[in-house]
Amino acid sequence: MSSNGNPLDVLRNHRSLLLACEAIGWLHMLGKAHPDFLRHHGGVRIAYDQHAWTAKLFPSLSDRLGWLRQQFPNCAWPSSLNDFVSRHAGRCAGLLGLLQAGHAMASGIEKQSYPDHTVAYLQQDNTHMWLVSPFGEPWRNLLVDRPEVLRQGAWDELLERVGTLLDKMAHLGRSNAGVDDWHGWREQAIGSGGWLRRALVQTLAETRLPNNDVTLWDQSYIAAALFKSAVAGGLLSSNFSWGRNGIKNQIRWRVLTIGFGTRHYEARAVRIGDWTGARREIGMFFDDLRRFIEVDIAIGSLVYQDDETLVFTFPGMGRTADTGLGDTRAKQIRDSIEEETDRLAQRYAFETPPLVRLSGSTRSFVPMVRERCEAAATVAVPVHKNWTVGKTENATAGHVCPVCGVRLNGNARDPSAPDSRQTPCEVCRERRRGRLESWLQGHETETIWLSEVADEHDHIALLTFHLGLDPWLEGGAVDSLRAQSLPEWRRSNPVLRSIDNPIDARSPYESLVQAIRGGVQVFDQNDPILGSLNAGYRHSGSWADFFAAVVEDRADAPEWDDLANDQRARWLAHQLLRKLPSPGRIHRFRREGEDFFEDLVRRFRDIAATRENGWRVRRIEFLAKDRVWKERETYAGQVRGAPFEILCLDPSERRFVTIANLARILKPEERAEKLTDLDPIIVRDDDGRPHELEIAAVIDQNRQRTPAVYHPVLTLERTAQRLRVLVPLRAVNACIEQAIAAWRRSFARVWDRLPLHVGVVAFDRKLPFQAVIEGARMLEARFEEARWERWVVLERDVRDGVVSLLFRREDGERELVSMPVRLPDGRMDVFYPYLRVLGDVCRAPHDFAHPAGQVYRHAADLLPGDEVVVDPGRFGMLLLDHAGRRFEPVTLRALSDFLRLRQAWRLLARYAPGPAALHDVWSELETTHARWTNPDSALPEDARTEWLDMVRTILRARLHLPNGVCELLTDGARRGLLFDALTWHLSWMRAEVGGEE
């Protein structure tokens, strides 16, 4: 059933089989979506078989999939197609064996499966059946606060939709449907708004602690992706052993990474439309790539995407030559994929080539981050291969395009225009136009116009947020999480196979290492300790085989023969008790980042749209009096002293729409018809030519062609790790405070290992966009350069399930952090809240050590004097009052210092007698500081006390502050935050005194 012909033709000829296998993967655990599955595992005595749901299908599952047997009779099908559901955890041959391989890898169960009786204490019950985030934050008590999929009647509806899904699949398969039909079928089920995805993401794949972090969707989707790729590998291999039993242990996978130099287009953008237009086409290109890989040739499924890379599952070379896709054949397929990828890119006339990479074969997603980073580094300077820039022949005269820099603009506009050198080429102009067309169709509630984002002072802020997910996606950070805690395991398993548990309860980790070290000379399949910590231990043939299976999901996986006995024991002790970076969990990490930023954007839209004047979020369409206008041209002028920008929608009708902040022009009580009372307005087109505009009539809102209401927010980029968004400067403080609060809620148990970095680039609307983007990139580069810090515990307090820790940071300042250490059911959280401490001694019972020596300590066990390693969140502000300011150094501060800066301003705004007094204080402090500082603008060490006394005196004399407030603000001056608060709020925010801005 394999072929040595064109590999892409082989895949296309089996498209329906591959997509059907993927669908089987989505559904093979569907029985877990019934509430009785949770109740059964939560202690209710009900007879529920999660595999029996297929009996409720009519026609049956076997009948609905029967067309597959007819079209592909040589695929080593199981005796009953129901076996895909009932036997997905076994060890079989053929297609069922490949599903078993994908299922085992997605969940990680084959490498960390505890005997059921040893982990019964980890089971949740019906009063507390929680779904938590991948970082331990409780989300929902599923049987108390039921999501839609678990409510009455939902199961029958779900089965009905599954039947429709299978019937539609059968119709497509029998009718030899094309790519478009298959793509639509797939997206409807599992696309971003797909019904099956929405259902499965609401409930659990595993009910036991701490595996209640992976949803049924994550595990099902990844299992389906791996199954699909494994089947593709079998079809493409010339000697695949379809009849081999136990094939699940032999299958491996690669990851296919496609990179594109998105940053090049960002750096070349002259206007924001150049960047958003290019991003739109890059997004369309990425959609084409997904369609090609996931549906057209159906060789894999997407497991990661950001603005520069796409990562897909891909067949790997098995552990034996007859169980996978060899390197030579894989390279041939990669080359064919690259040819098609280049062809797709050339359709968009991109100036830079894409990159296609294949990883080595693996049984985990560990290589994903490394492949992604190497791809991004390669396309950063797009010279990795020859590339012909498309559509250069469209213009043979004119100036070089100021955007792409490689095509001539052909004087597409009037060459006598004053800025004809700034006219883009046809390709870049169409990119701008494409973004406009998408907006006109009303696809987004956000604006695309900076003039609508700008606040009443014509100021805008680019907010850039970075979430430190990389160590989690590559699996290294998972070393800090526990699948079991030794003290709890020891307490719950006092007897192992009729003997007392030999692990010392006072120092369990070192006791476990010692016990393993004592047995590594001879492999004893009946070892009671290892047999209770791994269900597969008794089935291993040797120490080397067992060790390889336990550590294979690590990027730094060591070899048994390269280690001394002590290191062997430490690796085993560590791996057997850590949480595993299983593909399903890695997928959940990525989704968590995406969901976090998606939620922030929703919050930012609400914040930016909050207004006293309703015209802030409104547009007006109107008709102008008789003049000659250009379609899709923007015109800018002034009305009532405020910027007034419009877009010509239809020159024949002389129909326009406003694209400016109308709250600067119209009062809340004024009607749109007020515009018709205006005197003629002089507006200039994109070439700078003046035109006289006289508004004849306002069009009723119900007859407008463009969205009448908008959010004054423009999202530039949103991935799992980064968010860039333009907001009115007036909204910045509230947006950042919301982001910090959301980060603290979502990542409270891992704050020290998963930082949030926040950058602010404040600018005037007329500042060149290139300067803004360069400033943002500089800030982001500073965040990436920032290093881990050592913090010292000063105080610790534990109450009501929360540990409060007072630290001394590296910069000498104090930081108070709260960490939840209790689960919702009242048990202690012994899985997530661990911090890395300096030293190599395991002091507390919950301590554990990485084989490399790093010691992790539970937050509740920290004591004053303990030194911990922290990757802290940071923020930086770049205030671009002119373009050259972007080259000046930016000070990065602790993220919490932003809240202190805000507190300082609130105190000043509350107690200052008026704005004049505050400006006087600001001026006097700046003048005094300048006299006291050295040439490097730093205070000499011996002058700091006197300087702070001077600050205290000025604050008391000018603002008449209470003593406590004065001391807080003086301390803010010591930290450097007082100046920042005054500069930010008075110079840029133009905040009011006497109340919150």
124 and 4 inside one domain: yes
Return the pLDDT at 567. 95
What is the structure's pLDDT at 336?
96
| Residue where a domain stops, chosen among 203, 233, 251 | 251
CA distance 616 to 666: 9
DSSP annotation string for 643-697: EEEEEEEETTTTEEEE-S-GGGTS-TT--GGGGGGSPPEEEE-TT--EEEE-EEE
Q: How far apart are CA 263 and CA 254, in angstroms?
A: 27
- The reply to whether 540 falls in a domain is yes
Residues 71 and 208 reside in one and the same domain: yes
| Residue 1 banded pLDDT, cuts 50, 70, 90 | low
Q: Do 171 and 117 reside in the same domain of the chain?
A: yes
Query: Looking at 284-288, 547-551, 669-673, 812-816, which range is the least confident one?
Result: 547-551
pLDDT digits (tens, 9 = 90+) for 300-353: 999 999 999 999 999 999 888 888 899 999 999 999 999 999 999 999 999 999
Contact predicate 870/789, CB 8 Å? yes
Question: Kindly report the CA angle at 318 between 312 and 323, in degrees rounded to 5?
Answer: 110
Interval 875-929: pLDDT, tens: 999 999 999 999 888 999 999 999 999 999 999 999 988 888 999 999 998 888 8
Is residue 353 helix, strand or coil? coil
* Residue among 141, 131, 146 at smallest CA distance from 211: 131
CA 431 to chain CA centroid, nearest Å: 26
275 close to 773: Cβ distance less than 8 angstroms = yes
* 997: pLDDT strictly greater than 50: no
432 within some domain: no
pLDDT for 553 beyond 90: no
Q: Over 50: is that where the pLDDT of 428 sits?
A: yes
636 three-state secondary structure:
strand
Burial of 688 (0-12, 13-18, 19+ CB in 10 A): exposed
- DSSP 3-state of 592: helix
Total Cβ atoms within 10 A of residue 249: 16
Measured at the CA of 674, the angle between CA 671 and CA 680, to 5 degrees, comes to 155
**Average pLDDT for residues 416-439, to the nearest whole number?**
80
The whole domain housing 687 covers 620-699
The verdict on 530 and 630 lying in the same domain is: no
- For the stretch 490-528, pLDDT in tens is 999 999 999 999 999 999 999 999 999 999 989 999 999
- Does 194 lie in the same domain as 64? yes
Percent of the chain surpassing pLDDT 70: 96
**Of 172-181, 441-450, 664-673, 937-946, minimum mean pLDDT range:** 937-946
Please report the pLDDT score of residue 427 as a whole number.
92
Per-residue pLDDT of 50-87, as tens digits, reads 999 999 999 999 999 999 999 999 889 999 999 999 99
Strand ranges for 2-94 from DSSP E = none
- Whether the Cβ atoms of residue 560 and residue 831 lie closer than 8 Å to each other: no
- Single out the residue of 77, 22, 305, 121 nearest to residue 825, CA to CA: 121
One domain for residues 37 and 165: yes
Residue 90 lies in a domain: yes
Q: Do residues 519 and 547 touch, judged by C-beta distance below 8 A?
A: no
Average pLDDT, the chain: 92
Checking if the pLDDT of 652 tops 60, the result is: yes
Task: Classify residue 560 by its DSSP letter.
Answer: G
Residues 555 and 660 in one domain: no
Phi/psi at 45 (nearest 5 deg)? -80, 85
Model pLDDT, residue 438: 83
15 and 163 housed in the same domain: yes
pLDDT of residue 110: 46
- Nearest C-alpha neighbor of 34 from the set 44, 19, 24, 25: 44
- Closest residue by Cα to residue 328 from 228, 234, 236: 236
Can you tell me the distance from the alpha carbon of 259 to that of 357, in angstroms, rounded to the nearest whole number? 8
Domain total for the chain?
Answer: 4
Please state, in angstroms and as integers, the Cα–Cα distance from residue 492 to each residue in 485, 631, 797, following that order: 11, 75, 28
Helices (H), 552-618: 565-577, 583-609
Alpha-carbon span 60 to 53, nearest angstrom: 10
Residue 732 lies in a domain: no
> What's the rounded Cα separation, in Å, for the pair 755 and 950?
37
Q: Which residue has the tokens 């259902």?
A: 199
The burial class, CB within 10 Å (0-12 / 13-18 / 19+), for 193 is exposed
Taking the CB of residue 911, how many other CB atoms lie within 10 A of it?
19
Identify the domain boundary among 699, 716, 749.
699
Q: Decide if 915 is inside a domain.
A: yes
The whole-number average pLDDT for the span 576-587 is 90
Whether residue 150 is found in the same domain as residue 79: yes
- The closest of 647, 731, 782, 103 to 456, measured between CA atoms, is 731
Tell me: pLDDT of 622 over 70: yes
756 in Cβ contact with 743 (< 8 Å):
yes
What residues contact residue 107 under an 8 Å CB cut-off, 6+ apart? 205, 206, 214, 219, 223, 582, 584
Q: Is the pLDDT of residue 109 over 80?
A: no
Residue at a domain's end among 203, 226, 251: 251
Closest alpha carbon to 645 in 588, 685, 672: 685
Indicate whether 12 and 144 sit together in one domain: yes
How far apart CA 546 and CA 113 sit, in angstroms, is 13
Task: Tell me the residue length of the chain.
Answer: 997
Question: Is 88 within a domain?
Answer: yes
Per-residue pLDDT at 770 exceeds 70: yes
The residue ranges of DSSP E strands in 336-394, in sequence order, are 355-358
**Is the CB of residue 133 less than 8 Å from the CB of residue 746?**
yes
Name the band, by pLDDT with cuts 50, 70 and 90, for residue 189.
very high
Tell me: pLDDT of 996 over 50.
no
Whether residues 39 and 167 share a domain: the answer is: yes
Question: Does the structure show a pLDDT above 90 at 482?
Answer: yes
User: What end-to-end distance do the CA atoms of the chain give, in Å?
Assistant: 71
35 with 151, same domain: the answer is yes
What pLDDT does 528 receive?
94
Q: Is 57 within the bounds of a domain?
A: yes
Please work out, in degrees rounded to the nearest 5, the angle formed at the alpha carbon of residue 138 by the alpha carbons of 136 and 140: 140
Q: What's the one-letter identity of residue 644?
A: F
**What is the value of pTM for the model shown?**
0.93
Distance CA 469, CA 592 (A): 10
- Rounded to an integer, what distance in angstroms lies between the CA atom of residue 139 and that of residue 132? 5
Residue 773 belongs to some domain of the structure: no
Tokens of 642: 């405020």
pLDDT band at 937 (very low <50, low <70, confident <90, very high): low
